[in-house]
Amino acid sequence: MAAPESVPPWWRVWPHDAATVVVADVADEAGAAVVAEVRRRGGSAGYVRADVADEASVEHLLDRVLADFGHLDGAVNNAGAWQPDVPLHEIGVEVWDRLHDVDLRGVFLCMRAELGLFLRQSEGGAIVNTAGIAGFKAMPGLGAYVAAKHGVIGLTRQAAAEYAEYGIRVNAVAPGMVATPAWSARPVPMRQLYADGQAAGRAAAAEEIASAIVFLLSDDASFVSGDVLVVDSGTLQQ
């Protein structure tokens, strides 16, 4: 089924009409709301509380997926943390550690569990990681974030090379600015400043990034692996 417009599009983790979607987050109320909306519209979904920075929590998530649904076809590793805009020499260790725990360690822990499950199933699989244009370039004031996103791209390419022979595809999307709830909560002048820096003069809608993710998970991308699909309206080329 198509994703309802009123639901955050990251619930569309597998682009088949008969898909069952597992939403994983630490925001229980928001996760439950997404699941309820998917079910209300005739889809099948479940929620599992999971902290991607915690190894045991990630393992519990995959155990629950198997116990409740019996199989995993595709996964989207989309959890992320942001940092205050400060020069590199002013980044606190706590900020650095928290951001890398979620944005890089979290991707590694999820990929490790997902790859292991795909190998046990012996049926291939697809993974899409969320990187960002910060994975390709420096961004003043965002040193910890830039380092983490470069790492996500490296992990994506490494896994694609290692697991292609098992029919497992691993790709990433690299969005520019996206109009997420966190972005929308920022002051209007700040949002306008960021939007003006995008080639299209606006932030992307979340659905525009989700569509790219759905493509990379689907059979339409059956020979695509190790790629980073930039979805930024040309901003990276400026």
Q: 184-225, pLDDT tens digit by residue?
A: 777 888 788 888 889 999 999 999 999 999 999 999 999 999
Contacts of 27 (CB under 8 A, 6+ apart): none
Q: Is the pTM of this model over 0.85?
A: yes
Contacts of 16 (CB under 8 A, 6+ apart): 73
Number of CB atoms found within 10 A of residue 96's CB: 17
Q: What is the assigned CATH class of domain 74-237?
A: alpha beta
pLDDT digits (tens, 9 = 90+) for 108-162: 999 999 999 999 999 999 999 999 999 999 999 999 999 999 999 999 999 999 9
Strand partners, 204: 178
The residues annotated as belonging to the active site are: 145
Contacts of 219 (CB under 8 A, 6+ apart): none
Number of CB atoms found within 10 A of residue 124's CB: 16
